[in-house]
A and B are shown apart, each in its own frame.
Chain A
Amino acid sequence: MVEQSLRFRDDEPVGDPAVTVDAFADQSNATAVRIEPGDDARDLLPHLDRLALVEVNFPAYTDGRGYSAARILREHGYAGELRAVGDVLLDQLSHMRRCGFDSFAPNQAISVEAAEKAFATWPEVYQKTVDGRPAIWAKRHPA
């Protein structure tokens, strides 16, 4: 199976394969890691500087732990590629983007056009997250 990748970044993709969180702890030179739903994203916080790619696996779209993992990494300053992998569907893309994902490897291919349309689902947003979009309350009360 050829894994499709939707990437919304300008830098060069990382060539290294992503290792598990456990393996990552033992490999001082690894630059890519894959988080499973049961992993604690905070274990990676001491190593954000050397990470260029974090994959977050969604074995089932209904398991929403990956949204928190993504946001936690971004809230702590992770600026590398953050890729949602697995059961990643069109109707989840806009929320994933809001939580900091900037790359997607869905099991079933999604076109770039469809993805861009999904990101534009909500003309406004009620919450401040990590995507830089101003919340509605911020627009109502400009500083």
Chain B
Amino acid sequence: MYQYDQYDQAMVDARVAEFRDQVERRLAGDITEDQFKPLRLKNGLYLQLHAYMLRVAIPYGTLSSRQMRMLGDIADKYDRGYGHFTTRQNIQYNWIKLQDAPDILADLASVEMHAIQTSGNCIRNTTSDQFAGAAADELVDPRPYAELLRQWSTFHPEFDYLPRKFKIAIIGSETDRAAMKLHDIGIQLVQNDAGEIGCKFYVGGGMGRTPMIAPVIGDFVPPLQMISYLEACLRVYNRYGRRDNKYKARIKILVHEIGADEYRRQVEEEFAHILTLGLEPPAAELERIKGFFEQPGFDANASDELDLSDPDFALWVDQNVHAHKQPGYAIVNISLKPVGGIPGDATADQIRLMADLALEHSFDELRVTHAQNIVLPHVKKADLYGLWQKLDEAGLASANLDLIGDIIACPGLDYCSLANARSIPVAQKISERFADLGRQRELGELKLKISGCINACGHHHAGHIGILGVDRKGVENYQLLLGGCEGADTSLGTITGPGFNEDGIVDAVEKATDVYLAQRADGERFVDTFRRIGMAPFKEAIYAKEAVNG
């Protein structure tokens, strides 16, 4: 894992001091809430419905056990004993007092963490593949590039007041586990015929109220020009992105309105100029960073044998354990989606337990996934059974990864001041309706995603089944979308028709799954069947009038 040197540490320490000063000015009444708002937002501090919410950055979703333990301690010390892992691979605390915020940032800085640029119209925390450095299908480990990106984007003076927020994801595998094409910029590390590594730039994707899949803008940018190319992409956006309407201000609208070809032309022109300025960190810097991501000291003799005689353990292994590139090792997914639970929430005790398990079994590393789960990336197969038992005791062994119970949901109207409807109760009811694991496994991979408003933090556009909460004349109403997908075959969901109330949406989801079960061909996932048979059969079943006498 990356470790701060004196320069990195000086930057986060300076931030803590700056924010402490700003909070003192606010508490003393020297600045108004209006003046303070943009300052606190730069530090991830939102004023929500009931309290302040603090969003802490987890750069490319990677954590050490020491950092994870601190997240648990903060939940106990300053919040109500739990935290919420988000679709941006971050963590949010929902019950923060303003006067505590500088102390929390100081605690974070003591373990090389921060809340820098977790909100505001700036470059947000870079996200990545949660299996980076471990996946069997990986071409290049994206983490060193993500760290280079983190440093470049931190306090970038030109791009702190962009038209709108800006999210970058980077991956190094053919399999896209980071929804890369649904970001403002998605970078895929690829290899050309000559065996060289390059960056394939997808620009102008996003969700929100106008979802778009990013087109390719740069086919093959040399890694040692990645920062210069980013400067060019961002400068064109900063100068020409729309500022007249916040709902049309994301880069996807610019790329869409002027067209990918014209945007590419402008970027290429700017890129040619920027290359003359020498802004790119040298190869030695990328090498220095790579040094922190060398593969851990795997036991070359680790056994690939696994005793699956305990049926519950076997189920969990089948569902939640992923192939590792190193023989004898596995990638463990810890589902934060127990039946009836709040997706992504973990208690302070659970957070600390996961930290302990990472230290003991996973070379001191954890990852947060955009599906709001936790990953232990490097676990010896021989340790899996003992690890599973400890997880099970703590309520962390739900064997539902990528099944209908593994729901993504935003905090919704229970917490969020932007929301139109609650997300959490809907997630809980669906989770309870499909509580039977056998039934979930029968349905197979089925990604269900819920957003409580059009901003789409719950990624409803990319759900095989998506749910969007809206406000209809003061009543919460839920629209159903089918056919969304992230990854290599990214697609956007289509709305089925009129919305439903809270119980109605649960019934509608169940009817959609019934259609799938009745119609699926061998090996088809829900989304594959939908793509083959189209919306009509689903619509018919979902909106069929109940027969009058049974």
CB distance from A50 to the nearest CB of B (A): 22
B100 to nearest A CB, angstroms?
A: 22
Contacts of A123 in B (CB 8 A): 10-11, 14
Q: Is A141 a contact partner of B282 (Cβ separation < 8 A)?
A: yes
Contact B159 A64 (CB under 8 A): yes
Question: Once the chains bind, are A126 and B161 in contact (CB under 8 Å)?
Answer: no
Beyond A95-B157, A121-B14, A126-B152, whether A64 also contacts B162 by CB under 8 A is yes
Chain B hits for A128, CB < 8 A: 277-279
A63 within 8 A of B: yes
Residue of A nearest to B13 (CB): A123
Most buried by B among A68, A126, A141: A126
Q: Please name all residues of chain A whose beta carbon is closer than 8 Å to the beta carbon of B35 when the two chains form the complex.
A: 89
Contact of A124 among B7, B39, B279 (CB under 8 A): B7
Interface of B is mostly: helix
8 Å CB contact of B14 from A63, A96, A122, A139: A122
Are B11 and A126 within 8 A (Cβ)? yes
Mask: chain A, 107-129; 1 = CB below 8 Å from B; 0 = not: 00000000000000111111111
Among B38, B155, B285, max chain A CB count under 10 A is at B155
Q: Which of A75, A136, A137 has most chain B Cβ within 10 Å? A: A137
Q: Is B472's CB within 8 Å of the partner chain A?
A: no
How many contacts A-B (CB < 8 Å)? 92
Q: Is the CB of B7 within 8 A of A136?
A: yes
Complex: how many Å from CA A67 to CA B279?
17
The answer to whether the Cβ of A8 comes within 8 Å of any Cβ in the partner chain is no
Number of interface residues of A (CB under 8 A): 35
Q: Does A53 contact B (CB under 8 A)?
A: no
Please state if B239 and A139 are interface contacts (CB–CB under 8 Å).
no
CA A141 to CA B288, docked complex, whole Å: 10
Judge whether B209 is part of the interface by a CB distance below 8 angstroms. Answer: no
Q: Say what secondary structure dominates the interface of chain A.
A: loop
- CB neighbors of A among B220-255 (8 A): 235, 238-239, 243
Q: Inside 8 A of A69's CB, which chain B residues have their CB?
A: 239
Given contacts A75-B277, A127-B152, contact A62 B158 (CB under 8 A): no
B5 touches A140 (CB 8 A): yes
- Chain A residues with CB under 8 A of B157: 67, 94-96, 98-99, 127, 129
Partner of B11, one of A94, A98, A122, A137: A122
Interface status of B494 (Cβ within 8 A of chain A): no
Closest 5 CB pairs of A and B: A64-B161, A98-B157, A95-B157, A137-B281, A136-B7
- Beyond A67-B238, A95-B158, A122-B155: 15 further Cβ-contacts under 8 Å? A63-B161, A64-B162, A65-B238, A67-B158, A67-B160, A68-B158, A75-B273, A96-B157, A123-B14, A136-B151, A137-B151, A137-B281, A139-B7, A140-B285, A141-B284
Give 15 pairs: A residue, B residue, CB < 8 Å, sorted on A: A64-B238, A67-B158, A67-B238, A91-B38, A98-B157, A121-B14, A122-B11, A123-B11, A124-B10, A127-B156, A128-B279, A129-B157, A135-B281, A137-B285, A140-B7
